[in-house]
């Protein structure tokens, strides 16, 4: 009797624990709002609990169902525990019979957990079926290749090659064929779909669909080296007309620059060796190691979501990419002031 905790003691113990747990929630919310990375497109927080597509909505529903079920079971167990701790002392003299004890073990420890697990397995299988939705054909296919630490994006049907930014028409199912150029990456757009691994020498596929226009963050969800955390991308879901206009623009090679500064910039691009790694359609630059730069000025970020795409940031990126993304394969340039100026001007025309 003397060993049983008093109500006061229990409260003294549980109150600080609850406070710590709740402050954890606040800290997480705060963490989500500390944007170390830019939010150039005012894309929302990449939360799987703010679904904007049918697949993510299925997963969000399942998540909440598990959460509320888990909470209800937790509260029921706690209520039982507290009842056992505080039930009236006079009831103590009557111990449970062996039959009663066995019943508690069989129902509470066997039948009930099995029923809950089977229910969750059933719901998960049904959700997976809905997510796969083989009944609906994908409108077109996008090839996505993971590189340390950026994403190449190809639209074979539209003759487009770009990087770190995927445009899709809203309300359309679009197939993603994933692969990797080096190590295993994982392609994840929390608001649209679950993760899928990108493996070297293998293609994995799934379909994404956005139910609302918007800009959604995607990220690499498999540790893949130094800059795994800065291997982000954007998915821009837009109306069919906007998508068509974008696709038309993106599939065009660049025209020879007319103004002298841009011409000079193109020359710097060739002479400084940028062409060895980067491609610009319509020029002699056909490099395959780094992101395609044909329409680099139209993109919202630089360095796979590391920086907002502005002339100032581009200048810093070209001059010293390692201070922004240590370990990145792009070498620092040794351009003179005027050369850098001309190069930036030229790249700025590639929209
Ligand atoms: Cu690619 Cu992590």
Ligand 1 centroid to Cα of residue 135, in Å, is 32
Q: Answer yes or no: pTM beyond 0.85.
A: no
How would you classify the pairing of strands 141-147 and 174-180? parallel
- Per-residue pLDDT, averaged over 102-129, amounts to 93
| pLDDT tens-place string over residues 77-108 | 999 899 888 876 656 666 778 888 899 899 98
Ligand 1 centroid to Cα of residue 88, in Å, is 58
Give CA–CA dist 154/262, Å, rounded: 27
| pLDDT tens-place string over residues 131-174 | 887 778 899 999 999 999 999 999 999 999 999 999 999 999 99
| pLDDT tens-place string over residues 20-35 | 555 544 444 444 433 4
Give CA–CA dist 33/215, Å, rounded: 17
Nearest residue CA, atom 1 of ligand 1?
A: 185
What per-residue confidence (pLDDT) applies to 100?
A: 85
What per-residue confidence (pLDDT) applies to 34?
A: 37
Cβ of 222 closer than 6 Å to ligand 1, yes or no, is yes
What per-residue confidence (pLDDT) applies to 119?
A: 96
What per-residue confidence (pLDDT) applies to 178?
A: 97
DSSP reduced 3-state for 330 = coil
Tell me which of 86 and 208 has the higher pLDDT: 208
Asked, as a colleague might, if the bond just before 97 is cis with ω within 30 of 0, I would say no
| pLDDT tens-place string over residues 246-294 | 999 999 999 889 999 999 999 999 999 999 999 999 999 999 999 999 9
Cβ of 146 closer than 6 Å to ligand 1, yes or no, is yes
What per-residue confidence (pLDDT) applies to 35?
A: 43
- Per-residue pLDDT, averaged over 55-62, amounts to 94
**Helix residue spans in 229-320 (DSSP H):** 240-250, 260-271, 311-319
In DSSP terms, 208 is beta-bridged to: 174
What per-residue confidence (pLDDT) applies to 87?
A: 76
Residue 17 binned pLDDT confidence (cut-offs 50, 70, 90): low
């Amino acid at each position: 009797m003397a060993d049983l905790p008093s109500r006061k003691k229990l409260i003294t113990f549980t109150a600080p624990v609850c406070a710590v747990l709740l402050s954890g929630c606040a800290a997480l919310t705060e963490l989500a709002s500390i944007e170390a990375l830019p939010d150039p497109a005012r894309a929302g927080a990449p939360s799987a609990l703010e679904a904007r597509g049918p697949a993510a909505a299925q997963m969000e529903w399942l998540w909440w169902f598990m959460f509320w079920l888990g909470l209800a079971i937790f509260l029921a167990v706690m209520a039982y525990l507290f009842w056992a701790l505080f039930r009236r002392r006079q009831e103590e003299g009557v111990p449970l019979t062996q039959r009663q004890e066995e019943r508690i073990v069989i129902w509470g420890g066997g039948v009930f957990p099995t029923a809950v697990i089977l229910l969750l397995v059933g719901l998960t299988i049904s959700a997976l079926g809905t997510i796969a939705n083989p009944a609906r054909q994908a409108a077109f296919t996008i090839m996505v290749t993971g590189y340390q630490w950026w994403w190449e994006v190809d639209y074979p049907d539209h003759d487009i090659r770009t990087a770190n930014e995927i445009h899709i028409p809203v309300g359309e199912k679009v197939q993603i064929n994933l692969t990797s150029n080096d190590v295993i990456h994982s392609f994840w757009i929390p608001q649209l779909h679950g993760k899928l691994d990108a493996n070297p020498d293998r293609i994995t596929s799934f379909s994404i669909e956005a139910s609302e226009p918007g800009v959604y963050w995607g990220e690499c969800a498999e540790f893949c080296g130094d800059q795994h955390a800065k291997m982000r991308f954007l998915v821009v879901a837009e109306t069919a007309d906007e998508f068509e206009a974008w696709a038309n623009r993106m599939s065009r090679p660049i025209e020879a620059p007319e103004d002298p500064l841009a011409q000079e910039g193109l020359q710097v691009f060739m002479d400084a060796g940028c062409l060895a790694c980067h491609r610009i359609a319509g020029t002699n630059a056909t490099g395959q190691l780094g992101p395609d730069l044909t329409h680099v000025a139209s993109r919202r970020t630089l360095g796979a979501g590391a920086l907002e795409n502005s002339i100032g940031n581009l200048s810093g990126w070209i001059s010293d990419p390692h201070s922004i993304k240590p370990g990145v394969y792009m070498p620092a340039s040794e351009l003179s002031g005027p050369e850098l100026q001309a190069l930036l001007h030229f790249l700025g025309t590639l929209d």
